[in-house]
Amino acid sequence: MATTPAGDSPAAQAILDGRTALGIEFGSTRIKAVLIGPDHMPLATGGHTWESQCVDGVWTYPLSAVWDGLRACYASLAQQVTQRYATELTRVGAIGVSAMMHGYLAFDAADELLVPFRTWRNTNTGPAADRLTELFGAHIPQRWSVAHLLQAIIDGEEHVARVAHLNTLAGYVHSCLTGERVVGIGDASGMFPVDNAAHDFDQDLLARFDAAVAAEQLPWRLADVLPTVLVAGQPAGRLTEAGAQLLDPSGKLCLGIPFCPPEGDAGTGMVATNSVAPRTGNVSVGTSIFAMLVLDEPLREVHQEIDVVATPAGAAVAMVHCNNGANEIDAWAGVFGEFAAAAGFPVPTARVFEALMRSALVGEPDGGGLLAYNYLAGEELVGLAAGRPLLTRGPDARLTLANLMRAQVFAAVATLRMGMDILTGEEGVRVDAMFAHGGLLTTEGTAEHLLAAALDAPVSVGQSAGEGGAWGIAVLAAYARDRSGLAADDPAALTDFLNSAIGPRLGVRTVAPEPADVAGFAAYLRRFRDGLAIQRAAITALG
């Protein structure tokens, strides 16, 4: 039977015709790019590894790393397109940019960065967050942009008077590529509280903020330095000549490609799991770990452990966010990879990770008495301003590879479970479906079993779970293109689009929790809560 040359395939023709969408996401440890075809499924991917730095006590990335990483990521994707389809990538139907939410990017009138990018991982804004929570009557997390801004004001930082505009990482990259200073409402909701009905920042709370800092006699109002808020489906600019040079210095990519609103990784995770409708939820397991539950009615009380944000279409979402996720699992994978190489049997990182995750499945239900903490950074949900990763055990605990890795996976989700108990217990939030995605889900049939045990609920995983937000923002780009620039005023419009566009193609597998594993995690969580004093002592002892 004759085969079709790659360059003559339907996929290659779609690439030549520009019937594609490109999603780029700046994750905490990896920048990813996904090119999707007319069926919204991935055609090619690209990636670049990067890592935040703790400089003078501040977690940051230099902006040079943003652009070096973007170019490297796009170049690897373009190379894969050429190798797979015997054609060059010169046209794309639409582009979307996503990035880790929250943090602080402040610029002056000349668009110069005033202070190094302060990421979501920083926990030095406690006084500001507490003050804002009281002022607004809504929980304002330490990592939100407005908390960073107020903390800078409280600390008397010189740059505050020179702030001309603030942005998120996704919004910043988008503005450089298109010239448009806009942000998707999901990303915006991690900067400042939004009005879900008006699809904008909450005007009353903006006025309260300005009044609260009036004595500082700042030369700006907060509304004037925040970006314009857009919802999914609205046009958000086109690729400029300067933007094309930043993305593809080879000059092969054509100008004028339309963009969707830039979004945060929480919003793109909701899209990638088709969980933007009320009573759906998703869990993202990467460097950080967070759960998003779309609300069908407002929460009754303000909880320090719960954020209220928005879907890319503007619907209210309860978010449980933990600064620390799979970082310690990655670190242990690195150690075992080094051991294999030192023993003369080098193993690819992906194989090491797979072996460790499969070993966790056969560990004792409670991890054999081991206790691990994955707190590399501070964790607001349990009141820790800093973190010290730990592994400890009693003399009767069983230290095996399987128990070690089960304890590490359980450590990654233990704090999340504490927040989830507030939502499903105290608030009675109902969830009909819980989806999971992120780097921890790349080894099929492993992490989802332990996640289901930790949540004591069925967990569903799609075939693109490992692609996560990069695929989600590509789908949002396709949505904006296919709506021909019409505003998506009804949140249900995005739900309908996802149900028809990606719902039948997700290839979802659902894992129900095993009773023994549920009981094992419950025992582990009791140890975890009781042992938090060890973590606090380590922070004090290790400085």
**Boundaries of every domain in the chain:** 327-418+520-542
Q: Token digits for 146? A: 């407005």
| Bridge partners, 291 (sequence order) | 283, 320
Distance set, CA 432 to CA 274, 278, 429 (Å):
13, 9, 10
The runs of H, that is alpha helices, within 105-144 are 126-136
The DSSP element (H or E) to which 205 belongs, if any, is helix 203-212
Please report the beta strands in 383-458, taking only residues with DSSP state E, as ranges in sequence order.
Answer: 390-393, 433-437
User: pLDDT 10s digit of each residue in the chain, 543 long?
Assistant: 333 445 568 999 999 999 999 999 999 889 999 999 999 999 999 999 998 898 988 989 999 999 999 999 999 999 999 999 999 999 999 999 999 988 999 999 999 999 999 998 888 999 999 999 999 999 999 999 999 999 999 999 999 999 999 999 999 999 999 999 999 999 999 999 999 999 999 999 999 999 999 999 999 999 999 999 999 999 999 999 999 999 999 999 999 999 999 999 889 988 988 889 998 888 888 888 889 999 989 999 999 889 999 999 999 999 998 989 888 999 999 999 999 999 999 999 989 999 999 999 999 999 999 999 999 988 988 989 889 999 999 999 999 999 999 999 999 999 999 999 999 889 998 888 788 877 777 777 888 899 999 999 888 887 655 557 899 999 999 999 987 545 455 668 899 899 888 877 676 788 899 999 999 999 999 999 999 999 999 999 987
The answer to whether the beta carbons of residues 439 and 286 sit under 8 Å apart is yes
Give the pTM: 0.85
- Residue that has been written with the tokens 């409280």 in this structure: 154
Residue 460 CB contacts under 8 Å (≥ 6 apart), including other chains? 273, 433, 434, 435, 436, 508, 509, 510, 511
What is the phi-psi region of residue 3: left when phi exceeds 0, alpha when psi lies from -120 to 50, beta otherwise?
Answer: beta
The torsion angles phi and psi of 131, rounded to 5 degrees, stand at -65, -40
Long-range contacts of 5-9 (CB under 8 A, 24+ apart): 5/86, 6/84, 6/85, 6/86, 7/85, 7/86, 7/87, 9/85
The torsion angles phi and psi of 153, rounded to 5 degrees, stand at -65, -45
The answer to whether the beta carbons of residues 222 and 210 sit under 8 Å apart is yes
Q: Helix or strand or coil: residue 17?
A: helix
